[in-house]
Amino acid sequence: MTLPYQKIGFELAKQNATTVRVRVTGSCMYPLIRPGDWVWVDTTSKPRLEIGQVLCIRKGAEILIHRLVKDGSEGELITKGDRNAAYDSPTQPSDVIGIVVAVQRGKYTLRLGSRYFYWWEQLMALFYKIKAFMKNWLCRTDKV
C-alpha cells in the first residue's frame, strides 16, 4: 500500500524526448528535491543502475522520483524517498523510466553527476548498506 506522503506527482513538459523535464509536487525526496523543483530525467537508455541513484519509476498509475536503495532477491529494485520511513514495494527494472540527472531550483541547475552530488549519492548508498547490515545483524536468530 502506498501512503499519501510517498506519492510524487508531476507533469511532463516534453514527451518523446531523450531528456524529460518534470515538475515535482511531493516532498519525499526533501532536502535534495523540493516541491516546485524541476528534475531532468534521462530516458535515452537503460544504463546500469547503481544503489544511490535517483530514478524516475512507474508504479501502477503513479510516477515516482525515488532513490534506489537496494536490489531485491529476485531481480527487482527497492526504492525509497529520502524523507520516507519505509521502503517502496519492489519495482521491476522494466518500470524504470529513466535516471534523474539534474535538479533545477529557480535559476540554478544542480547536476546530480557533479562531484558534490557524486559524494552525496555515495554517502546515501553507504548509509542504506549499513542500515541493511545492522537490521540483518540485529534480527539474527543465532543470538546468544
Question: Which of 32, 6, 42, 36 is CA-nearest to residue 23?
Answer: 36
Domain range summary for the chain, segments of one domain joined by +? 4-138
Residue 68 has which C-alpha cell?
534506489
Q: Is the pLDDT of residue 101 over 70?
A: yes
pLDDT single digits (tens) 77-88: 999 988 888 889
18, 8, 86: which is closest to 54 by C-alpha?
8
pLDDT class of 120 with cuts at 50, 70, 90: confident
Model confidence pLDDT, tens digit, residues 4-53: 333 333 334 335 567 888 889 888 888 888 899 999 988 876 667 888 88
Query: Which SS3 state, helix, strand or coil, does residue 43 take?
Result: coil
- Whether the ω angle into residue 4 lies within 30 degrees of 0, i.e. cis, is no
Q: What is the pTM of this model?
A: 0.70
From CA 89, how far away is CA 80, in angstroms rounded?
9
Query: Quick check: 116 pLDDT over 80?
Result: no
4-138, superfamily in CATH? Answer: Umud Fragment, subunit A (2.10.109.10)
C-beta separation of 55 from 33 below 8 A: no
Whether pLDDT at 1 is above 50: no
Task: Tally Cβ neighbours within 10 Å of residue 143.
Answer: 7
Query: What does each C-alpha distance from 138 to 43, 131, 133, 134 come to in angstroms?
Result: 39, 10, 9, 6
